[in-house]
Structure 1
Amino acid sequence: MQFEHLGAHPRIHPTAVVAPTAVLSGDVQIGPECQILHGAVITAEGGPITLGEHVIVMENALIRASASHAVHIGDHTLVGPMASVSGATIGDEVFLATGTRVFNGARVGRRSEVRINAVVHLRTVLPPETVVPIGWIAVGEPLQILSPDRHEEIWEAQKELDFPGYIFGIDRDTPDLMVQLTERYGRSLARHAHDRPSD
């Protein structure tokens, strides 16, 4: 299904194939020869999403842009089943395996591989041809790639990246952080109440 959101309609190249159960919402541009499979959700929440040529978005993947974080996915890139890309730039010929997560402000270099259930954290930069092993976490710039059992080191790097401040504009030390976060984000998402089917 396709939806107009905030006055913008998805634009799909005539050679692209979008499964009937995929959802495209807002300022989404799908390039030539792309394949968007069943259950994929590509939603532009105020910022644009562009997919280059021959991009494959597999089943139940999520691609989301915000007003402050657009998404660009380069040519010949594969976004695996149940993977998630939020507000990030993905280079050409990148492999994002099943269950990977790429967060806002991240940049994944050309021909990189983010393997099954691995994470590229907020504002992290992967140089070209980087491999993030299965289940590992890439964090920061300069880049650190850490195994999940190294939580304390990961958290040290994450604190500096300031997820609530960078994404929601809220200080982490705010006493009612989740109250403010959910109310602010909820108001933003409520703009979908005025979406209209466009296909």
Structure 2
Amino acid sequence: MLYEHLGARPRIHDTAVVAPTAVISGDVEIGAGCQILHGAVITAEGGPITLGAHVIVMENALIRATAANAVHIGAHTLIGTLTSIAGATVGEEVFFASGARIFNGALVGARCEVRVNAIVHRRAVLPEGTVVPIGWVAVGDPVQLLSPDREAEIAAAQPDLDFPGHVFGVDRDTPDLMVQLTERYGSSLARHAGDVLVPDTREGR
């Protein structure tokens, strides 16, 4: 299903294939030969999304851009089932295994591998060819790769990330943080009430 959001419609190459249960919303450009499988959601929430040629987005994956962080996915990248990519820039020929999580402002270099349930944290920078092992966490620039049992080291990297401030515009020390966060974010998401379902007018569709 294709939706116009905030006045922008998805632009899909004639040779791309989008499953009927996938959702493509807003300022999204999908390149030649891409495959978007069932249940995938690609949604431009105020920032653009670009998929290069021959990107594969597997079932139930999520790609989301924000006003603060656009998304670019390089050619010949495979995005596994249940993977989530929010506001990140990804090079060519990258492999995201099932359940990988890529957060706002991350830069993932060409030919990286982010394995099952691994996390690339906000603003982490993965040099070309980096492998993030199963379940591990990539943090920082220069990047640190940490196993999930190293909680203290992962936590030590968190305050500088300022996830609430950067993504939602709310100071982490606000006493009613979740009240402010949900109200601001909810107001932004409510703009989808005006979305318009648009037909896929590509040749042969």
Same fold judged by TM-score > 0.5?
yes
When the two chains are superposed, the root-mean-square deviation of aligned CA atoms in Å is: 0.5
Match for residue 97 of structure 1? 97
C-alpha distance in 2 between matches for 1:31 and 1:86? 19
Deviations 1:42-100 (A, max 9, x none): 00001000000000000000000011110000000000000000000010000010000
Deviations 1:129-168 (A, max 9, x none): 0000000000111111000011111011111111111111
SS of 1:64's partner is strand
Matches for 1:1-199 after TM superposition, within 5 Å? 1-199=1-199
SS of 2:192's partner is helix
- With normalisation by structure 2, the TM-score equals 0.96
C-alpha distance in 2 between matches for 1:175 and 1:147? 32
C-alpha distance in 2 between matches for 1:83 and 1:59? 9
C-alpha distance in 1 between matches for 2:168 and 2:155? 19
Q: Report the alpha carbon displacement of residue 8 of structure 1 after superposing the two structures with TM.
A: 0.3
Return the letter of the residue paired with 1:119.
I
Aligned residues: 199
Q: Does the CA contact (< 8 Å) of 1:101 and 1:119 recur in 2?
A: yes
C-alpha distance in 1 between matches for 2:84 and 2:153? 24
Return the letter of the residue paired with 1:191.
R
C-alpha distance in 1 between matches for 2:36 and 2:91? 18
Q: Report the alpha carbon displacement of residue 172 of structure 1 after superposing the two structures with TM.
A: 0.8
Return the letter of the residue paired with 1:61.
A
Q: Does the CA contact (< 8 Å) of 1:4 and 1:25 recur in 2?
A: yes
Q: Does the CA contact (< 8 Å) of 1:61 and 1:79 recur in 2?
A: yes
Q: Does the CA contact (< 8 Å) of 1:140 and 1:158 recur in 2?
A: no
Return the letter of the residue paired with 2:170.
I
Unaligned runs of 5+ in 1: none
Return the letter of the residue paired with 2:169.
G
Return the letter of the residue paired with 1:176.
D
Return the letter of the residue paired with 1:102.
I
Q: Percent sequence identity over matched residues?
A: 73
Q: Does the CA contact (< 8 Å) of 1:101 and 1:117 recur in 2?
A: yes
More divergent stretch after superposition (38-47 vs 161-170): 161-170
C-alpha distance in 2 between matches for 1:161 and 1:144? 14
Q: Does the CA contact (< 8 Å) of 1:41 and 1:63 recur in 2?
A: yes
C-alpha distance in 2 between matches for 1:17 and 1:114? 25
SS of 1:183's partner is helix
C-alpha distance in 1 between matches for 2:59 and 2:85? 14
